[in-house]
A = this chain, B = another copy of it.
Amino acid sequence: MPKIESVDLFYVSMPVVEDISDGSQDALLVRVEAAGEVGWGEAEASPLPSIASWIAPMSHGFCHPICASVLGQTLETPEDIRRINDRVKRRSLDILQTDHTLSGIDEALWDLLGHQRQEPVWKILGYKKSWPKTPYASQLFGLTPEETLKKAKAVVADGYRASKFGWSNFGLGTVKDDADHLMAAREGLGKDGILLVDVGCVFGADVDRAAKRLKALKEARATWYEEPLDRDALGEYKELSRRTPKVKLAGGEGAYTFLMAKQMMDLAGVSFIQIDAGRIGGITPAKQAADYAKKKGVTFVNHTFTSHLQLSASLQPYAGMKDHDLSEYPVELKAVAKAITKNTIGRDKNGLIKAPDAPGLGMEIDVDALKPYLIDVSIKVGGKSLYETPILRK
């Protein structure tokens, strides 16, 4: 029976990381090897605490280092991956960082299984076909409505039907300021453009302030209003979802377990659930969330802010769900995130994207391109070396 022989974690980073919300400035890559096959995954997580959770000395029975639940395990079937995922979660329950780290490992396990079987992950997950999705380009609102208008026009010129605007100063000024930006975005995208709005939890738990923007969102025909409130404020989301005029809510990127995503769908009144396979604990819980979304009539969308390896991983869980047809598409990646894969998930002649048909996650890791970005890490505890950056190999 094939056993997991090695798991290597690699911290790669731009030489200079800027204090901006661009999450593609560094990455934690995971390479898994079993019986001659290799799989790669990526955790959308702070690399150093994640590496530390991998090798942290045991604190007690529910605080094992993650490595103790992965190395040496049998890997032959999807059930093996689910078992490993459960095992990690139970035995490392009280290390808060666990689920972020696990995400990269779980993705690599699925990639490896796909290579073993010479099948794409979405097929192993039970789908017959990888359906095309409409990619949306994410960008920040401009500093002025004129700038927002220009940005929206540029995206349309670049062939996108959908665009997400977010963060920047939204919610920090007046309701009128925000309305002006929304109308500018709508004008720039044109009548048929899909306008998505992401405000980065700016209103905390304040439903009233969040609700003041509903009128302008409705007028600008925003398809969704993303993360108006704090990620934990489920009851407040529900309250906001009932306010008029009705605007559909989106959220879920902060969910780091399937059950958190489930509560978001059950209790928070969201119409779109946005799942990052690199955060929720990997493809395993992301697929559970996709299945549950389908059942509940909530639309599943990937959340992806980093490499095309991560994009592929986040597309797999809903690749076969035809009607769930929007996809977050990272367009302005930093060099390190581009260096991760030799190939990319490109737009077809209709401007659509889909999860690759190639085995595993379908992405080829570019080890040579990554080498200049590899960060040397050394962790010693009690005089013993617990982690040294491994050799980066295919």
**Chain A residues within CB distance 8 Å of chain B:** 11, 13, 17-23, 25-26, 45-53, 55-64, 94-100, 205, 230, 232-235, 256-257, 259-260, 262-263, 266-267, 375-383
CB distance from A309 to the nearest CB of B (A): 17
**Given A60-B17, A232-B260, does the pair A375, B382 have CB atoms closer than 8 Å?**
yes
Q: How far is the CA of A49 from the CA of B66 in the complex (A)?
A: 12
Judging by beta carbons under 8 Å apart, are A47 and B56 in contact?
yes
A26: which of B11, B26, B59 is its contact (CB, 8 Å)? B59
- Which 9 pairs of residues, A with B, have the shortest CB-CB distance? A232-B259, A52-B52, A48-B56, A49-B52, A46-B95, A97-B97, A378-B380, A49-B53, A235-B266
Residues of B within 8 A of A234 (CB): 234, 263, 267
**Given A48-B52, A59-B25, does the pair A383, B379 have CB atoms closer than 8 Å?**
no
Judging by beta carbons under 8 Å apart, are A13 and B49 in contact?
no
Residues of B within 8 A of A95 (CB): 45-46, 49, 97
CB distance from A285 to the nearest CB of B (A): 11
Q: How far is the CA of A22 from the CA of B58 in the complex (A)?
A: 12
Residues of B within 8 A of A378 (CB): 378-380
Q: How far is the CA of A18 from the CA of B259 in the complex (A)?
A: 30
Residues of B within 8 A of A58 (CB): 17, 19
Residues of B within 8 A of A383 (CB): 376
Residues of B within 8 A of A205 (CB): 259, 262
Please give 14 more A-B residue pairs, beta carbons under 8 A apart, in addition to A49-B56, A234-B263, A235-B263.
Answer: A11-B381, A19-B60, A21-B60, A21-B62, A23-B94, A46-B63, A49-B49, A95-B97, A96-B97, A375-B381, A377-B379, A377-B382, A378-B379, A379-B379
CB distance from A56 to the nearest CB of B (A): 4
Residues of B within 8 A of A47 (CB): 56, 59
Judging by beta carbons under 8 Å apart, are A96 and B259 in contact?
no
Residues of B within 8 A of A260 (CB): 232
Question: Which of A46, A267, A381 is the most central at the interface, judged by chain B CB atoms within 10 Å of its CB?
Answer: A46
CB distance from A176 to the nearest CB of B (A): 26
Judging by beta carbons under 8 Å apart, are A96 and B59 in contact?
no
Judging by beta carbons under 8 Å apart, are B232 and A60 in contact?
no
Residues of B within 8 A of A60 (CB): 17-23, 25-26
CB distance from A333 to the nearest CB of B (A): 13
Q: How far is the CA of A48 from the CA of B383 in the complex (A)?
A: 14
Judging by beta carbons under 8 Å apart, are A233 and B263 in contact?
yes
Residues of B within 8 A of A375 (CB): 381-382
Q: How far is the CA of A52 from the CA of B28 in the complex (A)?
A: 14
Find the B residue at minimum CB distance from A11: B381
Residues of B within 8 A of A62 (CB): 21
Judging by beta carbons under 8 Å apart, are A381 and B48 in contact?
yes
CB distance from A280 to the nearest CB of B (A): 11
Find the B residue at minimum CB distance from A381: B377
Residues of B within 8 A of A232 (CB): 257, 259-260, 262-263
CB distance from A197 to the nearest CB of B (A): 19
Residues of B within 8 A of A63 (CB): 23, 46
CB distance from A213 to the nearest CB of B (A): 20
Q: How far is the CA of A257 from the CA of B61 in the complex (A)?
A: 24
Residues of B within 8 A of A381 (CB): 11, 48, 375-377
Find the B residue at minimum CB distance from A86: B204
CB distance from A89 to the nearest CB of B (A): 10
